[in-house]
Amino acid sequence: MGNATRTEVESPLATDFLNIRSLLSEDEITIQEAVARFVDERVIPLMGDAFDEHRFPQELIPEIAEMGLLGCSIDGYGCAGLNSACSGLVCQELERGDSGIRSFTSVQSSLCMYPIFTYGSDEQKERWLPQMASGEVIGCFGLTEPDGGSDPGNMKTNAKRDGSDWVLNGSKAWITNGIMADIAIVWASTSEGVRGFIVEKDMPGYTTREITRKFSLRASDTAELFFDNVRLPEASMLPGVRGLRGPLSCLTQARFGIAWGVIGAAQACFSEVLEYTKVRELFGRPLSHTQTVQLRLADMSRRISTAQLLALQLARLKDNGQLHHSQVSMSKWNNTRMALDIARDARDLLGASGISVEFCAIRHMLNLESVVTYEGTETIHELIVGRELTGHNAF
Ligand code: TGC
Ligand code: FAD
């Protein structure tokens, strides 16, 4: 640091107190900066209105695709083949804009392109992945059912063989991208165990219904999916996996992205409130000169910093092939809790302004109420870690 004061050093303390940037490669920094610019210039200016209007900003999809952010960790098929830290940083920057934008990208990349790439036939990969990378085809992922999302092993949606076809019946609830999706990756119970199917929008018997009037993730498309005797050719089934391991392995990818993404939401809230406390004068001094306010700011910074280290270690384990899904669970749990607590506290420090669309804290706070629930609730992740530690299943 030389003679520079802490506030004069190059890295912005609000977002990188521990200089995590020094642990990143040139490529990782370049990708992060490019996505950060896009989020600052194109995403943040429209998110308040999109949230207020309960609208997913679909106009951003071509730009997100153009930047190579869809399926960015896949090698080939028009995808960027980035390493895990890069794909995490992409999520972090996008979620600094809004969890809805990261959700859109996570679902497309981790929950739709990943299973096609990992479990799909060559024909399925050739047919779908390039169009999904370019944003021409949008996907959604149907695992959760109305009767209970935490226990997907209890799924009622089923597919039965009929000649060389499958016939799909059932429904899925709370499905991100569900209305706009051209294809749905649908997980169904069969006589061979759980299997994944690529269901196309126009297939007879497949319908969707938008879930409206949400208080959270308002700038995201959420839907119910219904399957009434949907006839699927054998070629629609993902041949490479059977059993719950299929969908759960996709969740590991998406949970990894969330562990990174929520850092961005927390950084947005923290940066905003840090600036606010510098200019908000009460009792004859700026709020930031007050001890208890500094304690709260210091605590936010501590929690963001530890979440960053955790996420980076997760990425390095992933690239070394050493990552266990329970480690992803611990990180999704820790980092989402961190972000939600910071968003709530930042909202409070903003006073009445904190409930205005002009400030981002309440939008992030409300979004994070979904993030703490989807991709496995906080309790589910605690129990996954508990099971790993004790060897006993307590679900
Ligand atoms: P369990 O016996 O534990 O596992 C069955 C098989 O799966 C394997 N496995 C995993 N593999 C990869 N990654 C994981 N995370 C895995 N978890 C388990 C396991 O080894 C086993 O394999 P095999 O070969 O031995 O059969 O299964 P269980 O029925 O006891 O369930 C365990 C539990 C509760 C942890 C699981 O059901 C669970 O994770 N529940 C939460 C469900 C969930 O997270 N749903 C998310 C839906 S998608 C979503 O929310 C998208 S939000 C999108 C957005 O907008 O960003
Ligand atoms: P439940 O499973 O009914 O849980 C209710 C409560 O019970 C929770 O607090 C839970 O922690 C607790 N609980 C459950 N089991 C136990 C236990 N054994 N011990 C103690 N407590 C327990 N799903 C998809 O498949 N695809 C998507 O794209 C998708 N997008 C979503 C988008 C949004 C905005 C939201 C809100 C959800 C989305 N989901 C999606 C669904 C999400 O994954 C589920 O909501 C989540 O898995 C929890 O399921 P549930 O809502 O049915 O809650």
3-state SS string over the chain?
CCCCCCCCCCCCCCCCCCCHHHHCCHHHHHHHHHHHHHHHHHHHHHHHHHHHCCCCCHHHHHHHHHCCCCCCCCEECCEECCCHHHHHHHHHHHHHHCHHHHHHHHHHHHHHHHHHHHHCCHHHHHHHHHHHHCCCCCEEEECCCCCCCCCHHHCCCEEEEECCEEEEEEEEEEEECCCCCCEEEEEEEECCEEEEEEEECCCCCEEEEECCCCCCCCCCCEEEEEEEEEEEEHHHECCCCCCCHHHHHHHHHHHHHHHHHHHHHHHHHHHHHHHHHHHCEECCEEHHHCHHHHHHHHHHHHHHHHHHHHHHHHHHHHHCCCCCHHHHHHHHHHHHHHHHHHHHHHHHHCHHHHHCCCCCHHHHHHHHHHHCCCCCCHHHHHHHHHHHHHCCCCC
> Can you give the residue ranges of every domain in the chain?
6-133, 139-236, 245-390
Model confidence at 218: pLDDT above 90? yes
- 27-61 pLDDT, tens digit each: 999 999 999 999 999 999 999 999 999 999 999 99
Residue with tokens 């210039």, as numbered in its chain: 41
**Where does 245-390 sit in CATH, by number?**
1.20.140.10
- Which whole-number Å values give the CA distances from 57 to 7, 46, 104, 112, 219, in the listed order? 36, 8, 10, 20, 7
pTM score of the predicted model: 0.97
- 18-28 pLDDT, tens digit each: 999 999 999 99
Name the phi and psi angles at 272, rounded to 5. Answer: -60, -45
Active-site hit among 375, 378, 382, 388: 375
Residue 380, ligand 2, Cβ within 6 A: yes
Domains 6-133 and 139-236 share a fold: no
- 90-129 pLDDT, tens digit each: 999 999 999 999 999 999 999 999 999 999 999 999 999 9
CATH topology of domain 6-133: Butyryl-Coa Dehydrogenase, subunit A; domain 1 (1.10.540)
Give percent above pLDDT 70 in the chain: 97
Distance CA(172)–CA(238), nearest Å, equals 18
- 327-338 pLDDT, tens digit each: 999 999 999 999
Cα(337) to ligand 1 centroid in Å equals 20
Residue 149, ligand 2, Cβ within 6 A: yes
Residue 13 is predicted with a pLDDT of: 77
- Tell me the one-letter amino acid at 81: G
Cα(280) to ligand 1 centroid in Å equals 46
Q: Are residues 104 and 220 in contact, defined by beta-carbon separation less than 8 angstroms?
A: yes
Out of 172, 187, 245, give the residue to mutate to test ligand 1, the one with the largest number of ligand atoms within 8 Å of its CB: 245
- 350-375 pLDDT, tens digit each: 999 999 999 999 999 999 999 999 99
- 139-236 belongs to which homologous superfamily? Butyryl-CoA Dehydrogenase, subunit A, domain 2 (2.40.110.10)
Distance CA(371)–CA(380), nearest Å, equals 13
Q: What is the mean pLDDT of the chain?
A: 96
